[in-house]
């Protein structure tokens, strides 16, 4: 299949959500191949750990040390030579000759029949390979313990040198969208900086004569532009560079100039409005002049109309600009961003994992669903008295009701062929960004 967004296959009827995702991923992959054919050091950046959250790791992070650095105890107990367990005697008695603390190794010699009281994380003495948990032992006196022979095997409760990470091996692989735990892992290895992909530059604009800025008084028929603020929040979750191009009026000259200006500055342009039936005639004409953009009808609710493609490289810029034309309805903007734009941005920025994880929950109520389209209903994830995950729809699901998104913490995803859902049925859900 041609990767052009104007491929007739992509423009017939209503496109399946999965087909749209596949087509977008294919075109982004082509853009990446073009970009990789011209190596550029400016595509990489070295940042301090405290600036690395939600950045994409550019190269494998190799561990400079073994973790753990040496054999150590996995728990509080007594360390000894486990060969003494190879006996038919039901009980083992050992003499306690000292104590090993975390950060303060025991330096004395340990002989057969002896053991060492040891704390979690303390280095294992060279003559010891096994630890008996303290609660499994009986104290004879302050200098001796006993325990049942069959309670453990030789080598148990010891963490081996390099067991977690070996020196020179990847601790974090390239393409990781860096999370707080990754930064902690890097710090635990003594690493203070990371090499990451540069931030994508993403331009956003809203089109429509009905839109007002927040400092204006609403006239009859006017509405405040909320979409740029929703998009800004979504993009900030990904730690990208945002270029706010404001509101563009519904005339071809203004829109064309705005698109050309954005294409000179940004890797990606996201617009909202002007893509539904009756709105997009002049937009289509402009797109034919500026690049390869298809206007799709996607079999989904909300967010049926969407434009996608590339804007040709402008003078002074070597690469094309990825373009998403999202619907004007506030909820549809956020749904289409979550379902298509987010993954494409991560892919374009070099991430290895682009899709959020799915889970299942029990629907607390019936949900009406028409077969032949994928629906993304806003909902709240909870838990019932049995401790099982449950989900409840946040009232009216109209594409313009932004409150339904504000109250929600997840999408209930109802598949293309799926019909009505009964209360008590299990459904697929996807948590919103930032909740984990």
Domain-ending residue, one of 135, 159, 183: 159
Total domains in the chain come to 3
Is residue 305, in this structure, part of any structural domain at all?
Answer: yes
Same domain, yes or no: 261 and 319: yes
In a domain, 188, yes or no: no
Q: Say yes or no: 246 and 338 in one domain.
A: yes
For 281-338, the pLDDT digits (tens) are 677 778 888 999 998 999 999 998 999 999 988 777 778 899 999 998 999 999 999 9
For residues 312 and 214, membership in a common domain is answered with yes
**3-class secondary structure, 295:** strand
In a domain, 57, yes or no: no
Same domain, 326 and 365: no
Q: Are residues 237 and 288 both part of a single domain?
A: yes
- What pLDDT, in 10s, does the model give residues 100-145? 999 899 989 999 999 999 999 999 998 999 999 999 999 998 899 9
Which structural domain range is residue 155 located in? 72-159
Count of all residues that appear for the chain in the document: 436
Same structural domain, 307 and 382 = no
Q: Are 269 and 256 in contact (CB under 8 A)?
A: no
Q: What is the CATH number of the domain that holds 367?
A: 2.40.340.10
For residue 251, tell me if it sits in a domain.
Answer: yes
Residues 335 and 424 placed together within one structural domain of the fold: no
Residue 344 sits in the same domain as residue 369 = no
Rounded to whole angstroms, how far apart are CA atoms 165 and 64? 10
Q: Is residue 368 part of a domain?
A: yes
Q: Is 223 found in the same domain as 289?
A: yes
In tens, the pLDDT along 152-195 reads: 999 999 999 999 999 999 999 999 999 999 999 999 999 999 99
Is 168 among the domain residues? no
- 337 shares its domain with 364: no
Residues 252, 230: contact at Cβ < 8 Å?
Answer: no
222 contacts 211 by C-beta, under 8 angstroms:
yes
Helix and strand element counts for the chain (H, E): 9, 26
User: 133 with 35, same domain?
Assistant: no
Looking at the structure, tell me whether residues 206 and 259 fall in a common domain.
yes
């Amino acid at each position: 299949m041609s990767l052009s967004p104007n491929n007739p296959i992509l423009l017939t009827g209503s496109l399946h959500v999965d087909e749209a995702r596949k087509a977008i991923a294919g075109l982004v992959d082509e853009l990446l191949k073009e970009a990789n054919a011209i190596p550029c050091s400016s595509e990489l950046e070295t940042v301090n750990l405290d600036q690395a959250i939600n950045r994409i790791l550019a190269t494998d992070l190799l561990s400079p040390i073994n973790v753990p650095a040496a054999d150590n105890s996995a728990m509080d107990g007594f360390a000894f030579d486990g060969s003494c367990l190879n006996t038919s005697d039901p009980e083992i008695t050992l003499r306690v000759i000292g104590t090993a603390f975390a950060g303060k190794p025991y330096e004395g010699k340990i002989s057969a029949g002896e053991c060492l009281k040891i704390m979690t994380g303390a280095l294992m003495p060279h003559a010891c390979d096994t630890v008996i948990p303290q609660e499994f032992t009986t104290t004879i006196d302050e200098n001796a313990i006993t325990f049942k022979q069959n309670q453990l095997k030789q080598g148990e409760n010891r963490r081996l040198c390099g067991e977690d990470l070996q020196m020179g091996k990847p601790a974090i692989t390239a393409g990781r969208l860096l999370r707080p735990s990754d930064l902690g892992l890097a710090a635990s290895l003594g690493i203070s900086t990371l090499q990451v992909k540069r931030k994508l530059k993403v331009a956003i604009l809203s089109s429509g004569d009905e839109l007002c800025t927040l400092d204006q008084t609403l006239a009859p028929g006017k509405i405040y532009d909320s979409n740029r603020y929703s998009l800004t929040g979504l993009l900030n979750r990904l730690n990208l560079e945002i270029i706010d191009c404001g509101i563009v009026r519904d005339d071809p000259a203004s829109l064309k100039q705005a698109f050309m200006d954005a294409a000179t500055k940004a890797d990606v342009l996201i617009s909202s409005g002007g893509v539904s039936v009756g709105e997009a005639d002049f937009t289509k004409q402009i797109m034919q002049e500026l690049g390869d953009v298809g206007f799709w009808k996607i079999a989904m609710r909300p967010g049926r109309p969407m434009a996608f493609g590339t804007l040709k490289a402008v003078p002074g810029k070597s690469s094309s600009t990825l373009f998403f034309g999202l619907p004007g309805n506030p909820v549809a903007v956020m749904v289409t961003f979550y379902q298509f734009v987010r993954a494409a941005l991560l892919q374009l920025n070099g991430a290895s994992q682009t899709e959020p994880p799915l889970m299942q929950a029990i629907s607390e109520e019936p949900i009406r669903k028409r077969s032949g389209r994928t629906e993304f209903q806003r909902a709240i994830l909870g838990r019932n008295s049995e401790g099982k995950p449950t989900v409840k729809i946040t009232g009216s699901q109209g594409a313009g009701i932004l409150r339904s998104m504000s109250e929600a913490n997840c999408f209930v995803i109802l598949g293309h062929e799926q019909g009505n859902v009964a209360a008590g049925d299990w459904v697929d859900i996807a948590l919103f960004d930032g909740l984990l």
